[in-house]
Amino acid sequence: MRIMVTTDARIRVGKNPTATTTDTYLPALVPEYVIVSPGENISAVQVSAGGVLNVTEAD
How many domains does one find in the chain? 1
Query: What is the pLDDT confidence band of residue 59, given thresholds at 50, 70 and 90?
Result: confident
C-beta contacts of 3-6 below 8 A and 24+ residues apart? 3/31, 3/32, 3/33, 3/34, 3/42, 3/53, 3/54, 3/55, 3/56, 4/29, 4/30, 4/31, 4/32, 4/53, 4/54, 5/29, 5/44, 5/51, 5/52, 5/53, 5/54, 6/51, 6/52, 6/54
List the domain range (segments joined by +) for residue 20.
Answer: 2-56
Encode pLDDT of 17-54 as tens digits.
Answer: 999 999 999 999 999 999 999 999 999 999 998 999 99
Q: Which amino acid is at 7?
A: T
> Does 58 have pLDDT greater than 90?
no
